[in-house]
Structure 1
Amino acid sequence: MLQDFIEEVGYLIRARYSILYIFTQEEERALEVFQSIGAQLNKRIIIWTATKGLILDGDELDAKSTDFRIALEMAEDLAKEPTLFVWCDLHPFIRGSSSPIYIRKFREFAQKIRMGFPSNSVIISPSIEIPIELQKEITILDLPLPELEEVKQIIVNFTDAYKGRPGIMIDQTPEVIEALARAAVGLTRSEIENCLAKALVKNKGISDSDVSTILEEKKQIIRKSGILEYISTESLNLDQIGGLDNLKRWLLKRKASYSTEAREFGIQWPKGVLLVGVPGCGKSLCAKSVATAWQMPLLRLDLGRVFAGIVGSSEANIRSALAMCEAVSPSIVWIDEIEKALSGIGSGMSDGGVATRIFGTLLTWMQEKKSPVFVFATANKIEQLPAELLRKGRFDEIFFVDLPTPEERAEIIKIHLDRLKRHNTVFDIPKLVEASGEAFWGEGIRLTGAEIEYSIHEGLMDAFSKRVSEGDHERDIVTDDILQAMRRTVPLAKSRRLEVEQLRTWAKEYAIRASLLNEALPGFTREEAVGRNIDF
């Protein structure tokens, strides 16, 4: 990706694009990249900072050039020779609220470059705030985060500085460098070096045991963004999901799509999946479990925080978050309850259209992303989702997760009893299945997986309470404890019956069921139920 970036910048510079706006928080690394580009294009590099003014080959040209207007006047003369002007600290001077004189002077400088000066301007900035007067002059590019090979070199360079020092053990075997690099992918160079420095201080060396240290630090760094969260999934797997066999088979089938053999065969990376269905039926658990099954990192993208951000920074936040997702690829990006963040998109009533632009950025990325990032989105209310999100090309498939069938409820009950370290053979599973289904609650009403889990834990609490009050230390949870807890539950399918029926009606036309069934669901004919299973 870095090489693609360098090639693209080279094309733009030779095509006389006057201003390139490089969005990155890695100023030092960006400067190194442009030093290399300048050497390739036979252009000298002049850097401007707010504290040192114009700098050529490490020397300050004039102390007065810390004044931006004076710096521009000097740059007009210097631009007559082939030069790349790299502007740092510039965003406060050219944002919409800045002095119109600064914006006009910079625009005139850009026009002179375009009209004949053999030079170009490059802005390096951690934020994107462009006044309307400069929008036609500026081309925005994202400096990609270090890829695996570059991360390896960063680690080698860092460890070289400490190799051979007394009391410090440095392991630079290819296997260790590979493991450390894969753990560090997705971080900036300074963040990688900070992680290594911490491991060095903590363990008096660098070895494969520091992978966990880097991963923990990486989670903290990702969490700082406020938009992405690194989700731990080590304790989960698809076997802990009761039912949803149609979905699980679909997911397992696509695990092989990430292999080199699949790429050579012509298989493209999966784009993602959208799960729509009743709350509490395992949609979020699926996202966490598939990350374990595919052995990929799971990043939770909180769109609500993106849209709630400060106007002007929200667009930069989503671009940064998506860049992080691609940097740690192959990865899974989980967007939970996506409809809550995207409902009402397009009105632009209070944010000047920021939400709509962010939504457009997300859609474009989902359609055109080049890295193996699998988007796992969940939704409870399909009517709140924009139509653009549901068209083919955004997701590979849309699955409907309905209330669990009798077979699925039996699986769910056994899974939760196993988690409590109770043998399910001593419980009347058929009786619990019946009490959690339509036989007890009426047609179309069944307990969700979450309600079944709650009932089992409530039954456990009731059993413990009786054990204490009765002084019977042999008392343990029994079937009746769970049955009573189930019967006290008010099923969501009952309290929100109309919404569930509307979801089922929509799913008949636009989604594939997540469950494999031998008999029809309410709202489906037997032919429809059989016909909408996936054949494997």
Structure 2
Amino acid sequence: MNTKDFEKEIKIHIEARYPILWLVSFEERRVERIVENLCESTGFEYWSWSVSRGLYGGKKKKREPMGREKILTTIEETILKSENINNLFLLKDIAGYFNSHEFLRKFRDLPAIMEEKNSLNTICILSPTLSDIPPELEEDVVIFELSLPDYDEIEELVTKTYGHLIPQKWHSSTRSILYKSLQGLSLDNIRRVVRKAISLNNGVLNESCITYIQDEKQQIIKKQKTLDYYPHKEVIEHIGGLDEIKKWFIEREHVFRLSKGKIDTLGLDIPKGLLLIGVPGSGKSLCCKALAGIWNLPLLRLDVGRIFGSTVGESEKSIRKCIQLAEAVSPCILWIDEIDKAFGGVTGFQGDSGTQLRVFGTFVTWLQEKEKPVFVIATANEPKNLPPELWRKGRYDEVFFVDLPSAEEREDIYRIHLEKRGQNVTRINPRELAQNSQGFTGAEIEQAVKDAIVTTFNKLRSNRDSKDVDAMIEELSSLNLSHEQLLSSIRNITPLSILKKEEIDELRRWSHQRARPASRSLFRQRAEMLSDHEKRAIAIHEAGHTLMMWHNFNKTPVFISVDNYKDYSTYTPIEETLKSTFTKKDLVKEIGVILGGMIAEEELSNNDSQTVGASQDLIQATQIARRMVVEYGFGEIMKNTSLIGLQDYALTSGKEILDDIQKILDHAKTDAEQVISKNKDLLNRFIDKLVKEVLLNGDDLMRFFSTNPLNL
């Protein structure tokens, strides 16, 4: 709890005659000041004791050397002598002496003595951590834990102490970044760190000091040894392509820069986290590192392998320790690399007595309920293995799929890695390199550049004397990498998309239906190969599906695009595992969504312009209608009967089944035709927008339908 609540709770419990309060905090001097100020405001006599410095306090404010043998006797005598005087005793690190039975017995007698007196007397035990409370004291002890200074306390301290050094031209958002960067430090450390930053910056407090302050937080991480601290080395310019995810990073940065008061006033929420899924080597980890540079926040990496220990309870304790540490240095970014390896099998057989399940439960609960500004960014190469609890909104703000880079993105990646290594890009043709590396990931492109540079260096050494080579190397300022050598290195690499073609293709197909794409480039590239007529035909079809999905279920797909037709499952909002709760009406609505593309084509195009995609949708709709009749007993003629149970179709007429299927399809089609006919103008506006943008994600779709309501 913060300082105000901490002081308030102590006061309430003192007045309620609670005999023992256990105060937990590493900030001993801060607690002393809080308690002493409370005593002054309430008229209590303040007493403070430690085994090294003895007893201090009373009216004369004197210090008397006193060991543990005498302190309890002195407290008892003081209480007995004080008829009309209220006392508060702050005892530091006294819990370590409870191992002595005699000492504990004497301590247990004090609450009874306090209860007999009319005056108010309370003992406060102060310790940095909460050790085991002796069973004998559990009934008398109340625990309060003082959290590190919050935003308001830091703002008050810095403004009061160093306000004259803060430039007047600083915007409130810059001040907010300064105060947030100091969160996670104790009050004493805040003073030290700010003084050090000012000293390193020649007595001036400016934005450079924020960097010094964040570097100081490394010390906290290093002391704990449960998380790794990554310094800022990557920036947004180091990411080739991935325009959608970079845009998301920049938009959310503005929220992080707002002050706490402004965030509350505007009703905004601090971003919670991201889940990045995609092809191995496609740049997920690079995005995590670059995000820390974009937002100018500390990046902590959670190594899940360190969490799980052999001792009973060790793993659960480790995950809680990691969470506490991340919150202590917040605002920060917590990076969990390959989260599918840690929690991928959590829903299956548990051969570890449920340890993994308990660790997972602690983690996902914290993801949902956390209040501190800890932004969690996780990566996964096998998203299908992740439990459903990790996918739901509220734990992550968004799920992005990082695909293989397009030709345009591959050009950017080549330029980035060549310029990083001091190469003159004008002598090399990145477009040709991109064309020769179809299916390469960013990591494979980087390796091709590295191999080419090593080969170029080795060629300089061949057929030369070692002394001549050393002299030549000393004179070199850079290596002149040839275009031909790069092409040769590319040809020597077999990309993962070829080595594991089936797995990568399945991952891409699965993820395209469930996650927001991290880049528009690939979709634009495929769309450029289509004619305007083809793009509009696809847009009409996809728009019909989307409009019906919004009308029937008030939901949108993860994204839609005009580069190709989407599978019908993109527009069905309910997972197969939840279909058991579907009603007949729900199934008819689902058929209406599937037929929406075909109906939109009929409404806006002539019959000759209908696409093959419509016939595929008709197959899926017919299969659902057939199951309604044959399996679920939802027909009008063959009703309340499952033909699967009869196991003998000869008992029924095939025409009766076909008539029931046709009636279901006709009913769903009629309802969908009415919706699309009423919203023809809206549908045309939607189609124009889709053709222009090429790709619309879920947020774009929600905004469109919010500003363009349907005619019901």
CA distance in 2, matches of 1:405, 1:11: 64
Given that 2:275 and 2:378 are in contact with CA atoms closer than 8 Å, whether structure 1 keeps it comes out as yes
Q: Which amino acid aligns with 2:37?
A: S
DSSP-derived class of the 2:149 partner: coil
Shift of 1:489: 2.8
CA distance in 2, matches of 1:494, 1:74: 84
CA distance in 2, matches of 1:420, 1:229: 27
Shift of 1:396: 1.0
Q: Which moved more, 1:412-421 or 1:222-231?
A: 222-231
Given that 1:88 and 1:125 are in contact with CA atoms closer than 8 Å, whether structure 2 keeps it comes out as yes
Alignment pair present for 1:479 and 2:483: yes
Shift of 1:307: 5.2
DSSP-derived class of the 2:378 partner: strand
Task: Tell me which residue corresponds to 1:318.
Answer: 322
Task: Tell me which residue corresponds to 1:127.
Answer: 129
- Gap change, CA 1:68 and 1:401, over 3 Å in 2: farther
Task: Tell me which residue corresponds to 1:2.
Answer: 3
Shift of 1:44: 4.1
DSSP-derived class of the 1:454 partner: helix
Deviations 1:319-375 (A, max 9, x none): 54133233xx3x43333334455567796958x96x777655544443333344422
> How large is the Cα RMSD of the aligned pairs?
4.8
Q: How does 1:291-310 map to 2 (within 5 A)?
A: 291-302=292-303, 304-305=305-306
Given that 1:348 and 1:356 are in contact with CA atoms closer than 8 Å, whether structure 2 keeps it comes out as no
**Corresponding residue to 2:697 among 530, 533, 536:** 533
Structure 2 spans left out of the alignment, 5+ residues: 465-471, 528-558, 571-693, 701-712
- Gap change, CA 1:174 and 1:434, over 3 Å in 2: closer
- Gap change, CA 1:407 and 1:207, over 3 Å in 2: closer
Task: Tell me which residue corresponds to 2:148.
Answer: 145
Task: Tell me which residue corresponds to 1:168.
Answer: none
- Gap change, CA 1:174 and 1:253, over 3 Å in 2: closer
Q: Which amino acid aligns with 1:489?
A: I
Shift of 1:100: 7.4
Q: Which amino acid aligns with 1:63?
A: M
Alignment pair present for 1:459 and 2:498: no
Alignment pair present for 1:450 and 2:451: no
Shift of 1:72: 8.6
CA distance in 2, matches of 1:493, 1:132: 61
Task: Tell me which residue corresponds to 2:204.
Answer: 207
Shift of 1:416: 1.6
CA distance in 2, matches of 1:52, 1:515: 64
Q: How does 1:145-164 map to 2 (within 5 A)?
A: 145-147=148-150, 150-151=153-154
CA distance in 1, matches of 2:110, 2:385: 47
Alignment pair present for 1:469 and 2:471: no
Scaled by the length of structure 2, the TM-score of the pair is 0.58
DSSP-derived class of the 2:167 partner: helix
CA distance in 1, matches of 2:386, 2:322: 19
Q: Which amino acid aligns with 1:533?
A: N
CA distance in 1, matches of 2:100, 2:510: 54
Given that 1:53 and 1:63 are in contact with CA atoms closer than 8 Å, whether structure 2 keeps it comes out as yes
Task: Tell me which residue corresponds to 1:164.
Answer: none
Task: Tell me which residue corresponds to 1:175.
Answer: 167
Given that 1:88 and 1:123 are in contact with CA atoms closer than 8 Å, whether structure 2 keeps it comes out as yes
Shift of 1:478: 2.5
Shift of 1:156: 8.0
Structure 1 spans left out of the alignment, 5+ residues: 160-170, 438-445
- Gap change, CA 1:118 and 1:344, over 3 Å in 2: farther
Given that 1:2 and 1:146 are in contact with CA atoms closer than 8 Å, whether structure 2 keeps it comes out as yes
Alignment pair present for 1:513 and 2:506: no
Given that 2:405 and 2:440 are in contact with CA atoms closer than 8 Å, whether structure 1 keeps it comes out as yes
Deviations 1:142-185 (A, max 9, x none): 423234564466568888xxxxxxxxxxx943339969766644
Shift of 1:456: 0.8
DSSP-derived class of the 1:527 partner: coil
Task: Tell me which residue corresponds to 1:404.
Answer: 405
CA distance in 2, matches of 1:436, 1:136: 71
More helix by share: 2
Given that 1:228 and 1:300 are in contact with CA atoms closer than 8 Å, whether structure 2 keeps it comes out as yes
Shift of 1:503: 4.0
Q: How does 1:129-278 map to 2 (within 5 A)?
A: 129-130=131-132, 133=135, 140-147=143-150, 150-151=153-154, 172-175=164-167, 184-195=182-193, 206-208=203-205, 211=209, 213-233=212-232, 236-258=234-256, 259=258, 263-278=264-279
Task: Tell me which residue corresponds to 1:162.
Answer: none
CA distance in 1, matches of 2:565, 2:253: 31
- Gap change, CA 1:497 and 1:69, over 3 Å in 2: farther
CA distance in 2, matches of 1:479, 1:114: 89
Q: Which amino acid aligns with 2:483?
A: T
CA distance in 2, matches of 1:99, 1:348: 42
Task: Tell me which residue corresponds to 2:390.
Answer: 389
Q: Which amino acid aligns with 1:174?
A: I
Q: Which amino acid aligns with 1:125?
A: S
Shift of 1:449: 0.9
Deviations 1:489-526 (A, max 9, x none): 343445555654564465355432222242499xx963
Given that 2:21 and 2:144 are in contact with CA atoms closer than 8 Å, whether structure 1 keeps it comes out as yes
Given that 2:185 and 2:329 are in contact with CA atoms closer than 8 Å, whether structure 1 keeps it comes out as no
CA distance in 1, matches of 2:505, 2:105: 60
CA distance in 2, matches of 1:349, 1:386: 18
- Gap change, CA 1:430 and 1:307, over 3 Å in 2: same
- Gap change, CA 1:155 and 1:508, over 3 Å in 2: closer
Given that 1:127 and 1:316 are in contact with CA atoms closer than 8 Å, whether structure 2 keeps it comes out as no
Q: Which moved more, 1:392-401 or 1:310-319?
A: 310-319
CA distance in 1, matches of 2:123, 2:317: 23
Deviations 1:398-443 (A, max 9, x none): 2222332333223212222232343445434344334322xxxxxx
Identity %: 33
Scaled by the length of structure 1, the TM-score of the pair is 0.74
Given that 1:128 and 1:316 are in contact with CA atoms closer than 8 Å, whether structure 2 keeps it comes out as no
Shift of 1:27: 1.2
- Gap change, CA 1:201 and 1:332, over 3 Å in 2: closer
Aligned residues between the structures = 505
Shift of 1:285: 1.6
- Gap change, CA 1:108 and 1:66, over 3 Å in 2: closer
